[in-house]
């Protein structure tokens, strides 16, 4: 055993070592205090404890995840975000049109010429045409023959919300791509800079 340790009595049948002597304890405490004061060790490692952070850091800083991911993953995430919102809004459109009765066989575009039915959206036949309409609204590429009518106020509200959502997603994608293109190379970004102010 060390110079400053001593063996104690046994508790029951198990022998154990009591704490170190006071000089050894004081020396260890002062070394530990000095180590905790450093932000960067002499070896260059950082003395930062991240144990208080949540386990789901991915959701806390999603932009950082996009920026630090490889290009293929960033592009994949952006495509998934666009396609997912197209499908979500296509489902909302389908529900609006179904509740209005536009998807009934006698109200479809080829049959509505014979009747005086006014649909919420013109030229909608099935979910595929609803999905295409959702893409047209969100990307604002133009409607062609598929266009909204004044029949359903909820359709007008949905069109506004989807258009705004599309613009937000497009601006986030453009911002992430721009930030990735202007991000400095890894070798320059690795050095951590600390500024100390003395008052």
Over residues 86-132, the pLDDT tens digits come to 999 999 999 999 998 888 877 777 765 666 778 888 888 899 999 99
**Short-list 28, 14, 17, 15, CA closest to 6:** 17
Kindly write down the DSSP assignment for every residue of 34-94, as one continuous string. Answer: HHHH-SB-TTS-B----TTS-S-HHHHTHHHHHHHS-HHHHHHHHHHHHHHHHHHHHHHHH
Q: What percent of the chain has pLDDT over 70?
A: 64
Which of the given ranges, 21-25, 30-34, 61-65, 178-182, has the highest pLDDT on average?
178-182
Q: What is the C-alpha to C-alpha distance for residues 123 and 143, in angstroms, rounded to an integer? A: 10
pLDDT in tens, 9-56: 444 444 444 444 455 556 666 665 555 567 777 777 777 766 555 555
Give the mean pLDDT of the chain: 76
Q: Compute, in degrees rounded to 10, the torsion defined by CA atoms 14, 18, 19, 21.
A: -160
Structure tokens at 97: 């049109």
Structure tokens at 3: 């110079």
Give residue 66's pLDDT band: very low, low, confident or very high (50, 70, 90): confident
CATH number of 91-182: 1.10.287.70
Query: Is there a contact between 64 and 56 (Cβ–Cβ < 8 Å)?
Result: no
**Short-list 72, 49, 70, 52, CA closest to 60:** 52
- pLDDT at position 170, please? 92
Query: Is there a contact between 134 and 162 (Cβ–Cβ < 8 Å)?
Result: yes
Domain boundaries defined on the chain: 91-182
User: How many distinct helices (H) and strands (E) make up the chain?
Assistant: 8, 0
Q: Which residue has the higher pLDDT, 162 or 141?
A: 162
């Amino acid at each position: 055993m060390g110079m400053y340790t001593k063996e104690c009595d046994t508790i029951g049948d198990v022998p154990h070592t009591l704490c170190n002597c006071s000089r050894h304890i004081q020396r260890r405490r002062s070394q530990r205090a000095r180590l905790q004061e450093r932000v960067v060790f002499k070896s260059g490692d950082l003395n930062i404890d991240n144990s208080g952070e949540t386990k789901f850091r991915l959701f806390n800083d999603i932009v950082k995840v996009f920026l630090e991911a490889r290009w293929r993953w960033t592009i994949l995430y952006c495509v998934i975000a666009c396609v997912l919102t197209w499908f979500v809004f296509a489902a909302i459109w389908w529900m609006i049109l179904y509740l209005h009765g536009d998807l009934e066989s006698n109200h479809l575009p080829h049959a509505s010429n014979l009747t005086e039915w006014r649909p919420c959206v013109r030229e909608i036949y099935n979910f595929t045409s609803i999905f295409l309409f959702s893409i047209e609204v969100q990307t604002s590429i133009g409607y062609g023959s598929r266009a909204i009518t004044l029949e359903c106020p909820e359709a007008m509200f949905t069109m506004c919300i989807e258009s705004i959502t599309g613009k937000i997603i497009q601006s986030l994608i453009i911002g992430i791509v721009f930030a990735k293109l202007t991000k400095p190379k890894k070798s320059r970004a690795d050095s951590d800079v600390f500024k100390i102010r003395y008052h």
